[in-house]
Chain A
Amino acid sequence: MTLIDLQPLFDFLGRFTGGPENALVIVLAAVKIGILLGHVLGIIPLIIWLERKIIAFVQDRPGPNRVGPFGILQGIVDGVKLLMKEDFIPSGADRSLYLLAPALVLVPAFLGMCIIPFGPVIEGQLLFDIYTLFGLQGMWTGQSQLALAVTNPNVGILYVFAITSVAVYGITLAGWSSENKWSLLGGIRASAQMVSYEISLSLSIIGVLLVAGSLNLYDIIGNQDGGMIPVLHWNVWAQPVAFLIFLVAIFAETNRLPFDLAEGEAELTGGFHTEYSSMKFALFFLAEYANMITASAICATLFFGGYLLIPQEMVVNVLDGILGAFAGSQAGLPYSRSLAEVLAILGAPLGLALKIFLFMVLFIVVRAIWPRMRYDQVMSLGWKVLLVAAIANLVVTALGMGVLTWVGVARAGADASPEAIQASIDSVTKNWKFTIGIVTFAILVVVDRWHYVARRKRLTSKYRNYALVPATKVTATAG
């Protein structure tokens, strides 16, 4: 059944893009980007409202409550206000770099969103049916895939690293070009902090990489699928320490409290964006929230099974049962299982949205209750605690994978074919990867307790004569 024949359109567009296939890719990308940006840009004002409400709740005050019910439209009104504000350039500023900086912050933030896998890959018969619907059967090949992500490059995680490594420039330039001492301090602090935590971030992801065995984000999600309860296969059970390191590192990468030394309004009056007004300031703000959403999505993908929440087949079966029964009761209603499959696929992003929402709430609650760290504490946490922990986690994970591989080879038997050995290794590593998690987490707890006790001993002996610091009040802090 063909709904509308788009083949001539793509043939026409293909003349300018080197083939109708490229035209299809571009049009699909535009549609996916439209959907993604529509959702992200639409949700950001709500998140800002939620943030202000939660912080107000923590501080026992009402928060925004004038515009719309519960003040829910506050974020939108603020955006309009910022658009109408005076747009000035300080006299000392380097005009071109000053104007370039907000764009340089926003572009990596948007490019980072490209990689988020918000739904499964559609392929096979279902994709052929969809192609047929638009009259594109001629372009379908056996290998055709439609991933519900703007892009699905083979380099996967490396793409994320590439984007984060380029994201430093915008903030640094904003600080440098403003010709303001606060800005310069904020910008250079932010860039040094971001590069410091990027190492721990990458090293913690390598732990996941070792467990999942692929850079591709869809492979990593697929590795966390299986069984009736996919939750049991989540990487967070296999890599709890890596998850904690990753979590701290994304707080630092997005310059959120307790790591917002780049802004630090108590000491730097706003840091790198002190001299920015109107929409230029709004772009910094927007980029920060877009980065938070991307970071939450990547975290959900790497450690919490991405868009997977309920087994996809179960959803399809339930929907098929309900819809089939309904179609059966109405005479002459055409129905096929494909409809249930399509609905299940369209519902998959809800799983990711739920996880992103929970992470955003975490970001906000941490901001509400956590004091800002000192800069030397931030740097020593990054280089002396997280880096060492990430390396240790990596070593333990590698050893654990070695053991699991050995078990897999042994279980396959002596005369198994290489394929059988590979399958055996895969199943053993998938089903027993949580043991690595138990070991790494146990080591973390032991080391942390040991560090705590040793530090307490040191401090109590140091302050014995003062009696001002009771032993119970001495807590282990970073650095």
Chain B
Amino acid sequence: MSGFSASALSCGRLDRCKGFPIDGVTSPRPYGAHFVNPFTDFRDSFGLKPMIALHALTASTSISEAYLPVLVMLVVAVGFAVVNLILSRVLGIRKPNDVKLEPYECGVPTIGSARTQVNVRFYLVALLFLLFDMEVIYIIAWALSVRQNAAVAGFMPFAMILMAVYMAILLVGLLYEWKKGALSWT
């Protein structure tokens, strides 16, 4: 699988990229690989020059190879559900009456509609879930890149500091929620 465009992302790992070591600047590290800190070298950090490329760990599965089976499974699952629902429609007896079709509330006559407003806490939980879900995805990306570029000199300290700052900001949010009682149910 080749990279983004013709120029970028086609030359193996970070250290095998065309820009490494950066034109004319010999790497201070003895083993060739040199990581460019995006905060100190703005020329590279803001897209003026492609700097990244990697190799996947395994031979990657093509889209059709990976997702056609999922499509087949989707058809099977929907078919299974529909066939079962129809079967029970056909095979089961049907003797409905008014009392049977009432909502079951342990024999007590129903008062009002069941569709009342639910507690605002559930909404808050969904909101916090959304935010944490986003964080999780960013952390996944970070974890992948850390393992992928471990051999590139200078990358590891940079990535660690990046995550430390990221985590610190997130923990401030978590602490705020905790102190405000948003995580408590009662």
8 Å CB interface, B144-161 against A? 144, 146-148, 150-153, 156, 160
A90-B101 contact given A33-B72, A110-B76, A192-B122, CB 8 Å threshold: yes
Residue from the list A92, A102, A191, A383 in contact with B81, Cβ < 8 A: A102
B95 nearest in chain A by CB position: A86
B-facing mask of A323-366, CB < 8 A → 1, else 0?
A: 00000000000000000000000000000000000000000000
Contacts of A388 in B (CB 8 A): 174
Contacts of A409 in B (CB 8 A): 151, 153
Residue from the list A103, A107, A195, A425 in contact with B85, Cβ < 8 A: A103
Q: How far is the CA of A338 from the CA of B139 in the complex (A)?
A: 43
Q: Give the interface size bracket for B toward A.
A: 35 or more
Q: How far is the CA of A414 from the CA of B27 in the complex (A)?
A: 13
B101 nearest in chain A by CB position: A91
Contacts of A379 in B (CB 8 A): 125, 185
Contacts of A422 in B (CB 8 A): 13, 150-151
Q: How far is the CA of A158 from the CA of B85 in the complex (A)?
A: 31
B147 nearest in chain A by CB position: A213
Contacts of A60 in B (CB 8 A): none
B67 touches A153 (CB 8 A): yes
B2-10, B39-47, B53-61 - the one binding chain A: B53-61
Min CB distance B48 to A, Å, is: 25
B61 touches A406 (CB 8 A): no
Q: How far is the CA of A103 from the CA of B74 in the complex (A)?
A: 11
Contacts of A280 in B (CB 8 A): 85, 88
Contacts of B144 in A (CB 8 A): 209, 213-215
Number of interface residues of A (CB under 8 A): 102
Q: How far is the CA of A89 from the CA of B144 in the complex (A)?
A: 49
A425 touches B72 (CB 8 A): no
Which of A30, A87, A103, A405 has the most CB atoms of chain B within a 10 A radius of its CB? A87
Q: How far is the CA of A184 from the CA of B117 in the complex (A)?
A: 10
Q: How far is the CA of A406 from the CA of B30 in the complex (A)?
A: 16
Min CB distance A40 to B, Å, is: 12
Min CB distance B51 to A, Å, is: 16
8 Å CB interface, B139-186 against A? 139-140, 143-144, 146-148, 150-153, 156, 160, 163, 167, 171, 174, 178, 183-186
B-facing mask of A216-232, CB < 8 A → 1, else 0?
A: 10110000000000000
Q: How far is the CA of A195 from the CA of B132 in the complex (A)?
A: 10
What DSSP secondary structure best describes chain A's contact surface?
Answer: helix
A418 touches B89 (CB 8 A): no
A86 touches B136 (CB 8 A): no
Q: Is A182 an interface residue (CB 8 A)?
A: yes
B118 touches A184 (CB 8 A): yes
Residue from the list B92, B102, B160, B183 in contact with A87, Cβ < 8 A: B92
A88 nearest in chain B by CB position: B96
A377 nearest in chain B by CB position: B185
B77 nearest in chain A by CB position: A110
8 Å CB interface, A152-211 against B? 152-154, 157-158, 165, 176, 178-184, 188, 191-192, 195-196, 198-199, 202-203, 206, 209-210
Residue from the list A33, A84, A376, A405 in contact with B69, Cβ < 8 A: A33
Contacts of A199 in B (CB 8 A): 129, 132-133, 136
Min CB distance B113 to A, Å, is: 7
- Chosen A-B contacts, 20 in total, with CB atoms closer than 8 Å, are A33-B69, A85-B88, A88-B96, A103-B81, A106-B77, A114-B73, A150-B73, A153-B67, A154-B66, A180-B104, A184-B116, A191-B122, A192-B126, A198-B133, A202-B140, A212-B147, A216-B57, A280-B88, A376-B184, A384-B183
